[in-house]
Structure 1
Amino acid sequence: MQLSEGNISLRRLRENDAARMARLANNEKISRNLRDGFPHPYTLADAITFINNCRDQDPLTTFAIEYQGEYVGNIGIFPGQDVYRKSAEIGYFIGEPYWNKGIVTTALNLITDYCFRELDLIRLFTGVFEYNTASMRVLEKCGFEKDCVFKKSVFKQEKIWDEVRFSKIHPDYLD
């Protein structure tokens, strides 16, 4: 499966993405914006493990982001369970050389459409650390709305931070 718009595509992760993933992800500017489950330093072994863990996803929920035919990052969802099964949390990262090119905006629009159309989800959401204003701008460009702020809820870089929550509702379910 591949989702595409212009020179940006979302596709299944491949084993040969591992070395490039490790190089791009091994960046403190990336890890500081993600939960601590995203390791730093990010090694080749981390990339291989991640790719192997995503191998048999059905339906596909984790995608490689390609720009001009080259792997540049990941985007994925974490589907809710039980009464939250029509919602999913979304997460992404992109290598620093590819920042400010509109790549994540396009990738987020592609996966949002996929989630609403193919996975029958109603709500997508994410949390952004208060200092990650670039990610907040991407979400707003893609029609995500700020739901709330979880005050002093994140412990990252030896400090306490707010988390800003964003969501987007399937258009068929808007009031």
Structure 2
Amino acid sequence: MNVTLQTPRLLLRPAELGDAEPIARYLNDFDVAGNLARVPYPYHLSDAKAWLRTRRPNLPAEDTNFSIELPGHGLVGHVGFHLGRQGPIIGYWLGKPFWGRGIMSEAVEASLEWFFRATPAPVVYSGVFHFNAASLAIQTKLGFTEIGRSTLLCLARGAEVAHIDTQLTRSVWKARKNEVP
């Protein structure tokens, strides 16, 4: 799908070939790549270009990704969906210079809102490596619950790593959105 979302601070838009350089720059940081399952380290410009060639405007919602743009900085990260064995999975990363500003919470919330409106999916899955407390805090804040523990291959680490498996149901999302602050 070719979708663009606007939040109070961010533009979430389809990835473009011109995103290759900042993607490679931010993912070629072990502190970022080491938190992700499907990203190798070192991460090269050729890796970014190869991934960007897989992005097409006709992909289903379950395979939609958003480049996260912060005005004045350009691309700072990514959030997107892919199909897993159980159903749709959301994943995300943010360049290290932008950590701790609430950017990823804002981007993930907007993408989940879009996803639940665009699909009939009853649940979105995710998870974090056991040491990624910041990412787990984002998921917890947005209504994800732990559904188990597993191990997952981390390409950057070249090893199976303990993983906290999470899910967000449509009913929890809807109830959360209907709460009065």
1:39 counterpart letter in structure 2: P
Checking the alignment, whether the CA contact within 8 Å between 2:23 and 2:77 is kept in structure 1 is: yes
Cα distance in 2 for residues equivalent to 1:44 and 1:110: 28
Q: Structure 1 residues 168 and 40, CA, compared in 2 at 3 Å: closer, same or farther?
A: same
Q: Structure 1 residues 65 and 147, CA, compared in 2 at 3 Å: closer, same or farther?
A: same
Residue in 2 aligned with 1:136? 136
Residues 153-162 or 137-146, more deviating? 153-162
Q: Structure 1 residues 29 and 118, CA, compared in 2 at 3 Å: closer, same or farther?
A: same
Q: Following superposition of structure 1 onto structure 2, how do residues 11-30 of structure 1 map, counting pairs within 5 Å? A: 11-30=13-32
Residue in 2 aligned with 1:31? 33
Cα distance in 1 for residues equivalent to 2:46 and 2:91: 21
Cα distance in 2 for residues equivalent to 1:75 and 1:174: 20
Cα distance in 2 for residues equivalent to 1:49 and 1:173: 34
Scaled by the length of structure 1, what TM-score is found? 0.86
Checking the alignment, whether the CA contact within 8 Å between 1:2 and 1:9 is kept in structure 2 is: yes
RCO comparison, higher one (Cα < 8 Å, 6+): 2
Q: Structure 1, residues 112-157: CA drift from partner, whole Å, max 9, x if none?
A: 111110122210111211011111001111111111222xx24554
Q: Structure 1, residues 85-130: CA drift from partner, whole Å, max 9, x if none?
A: xx31111111000111111101111111111101222101112110
Checking the alignment, whether the CA contact within 8 Å between 1:13 and 1:55 is kept in structure 2 is: no
Q: Structure 1, residues 8-55: CA drift from partner, whole Å, max 9, x if none?
A: 1211001111111111111001111111x3121111111111111113
Cα distance in 1 for residues equivalent to 2:36 and 2:112: 20
Give the secondary-structure state (helix, strand or coil) at the position aligned to 1:13: coil
Scaled by the length of structure 2, what TM-score is found? 0.83
Identify unmatched segments of 5+ residues in structure 1: none
Residue in 1 aligned with 2:76? 72
Checking the alignment, whether the CA contact within 8 Å between 1:122 and 1:173 is kept in structure 2 is: no
Give the RMSD, CA atoms, in angstroms.
2.3
Residue in 1 aligned with 2:52? 51
Residue in 1 aligned with 2:41? 40
Residue in 2 aligned with 1:163? 163
Q: Structure 1 residues 149 and 174, CA, compared in 2 at 3 Å: closer, same or farther?
A: farther
Cα distance in 1 for residues equivalent to 2:42 and 2:70: 24
Determine what percentage of the aligned residue pairs are the same residue.
Answer: 28
Count residues in correspondence. Answer: 168
2:80 counterpart letter in structure 1: G
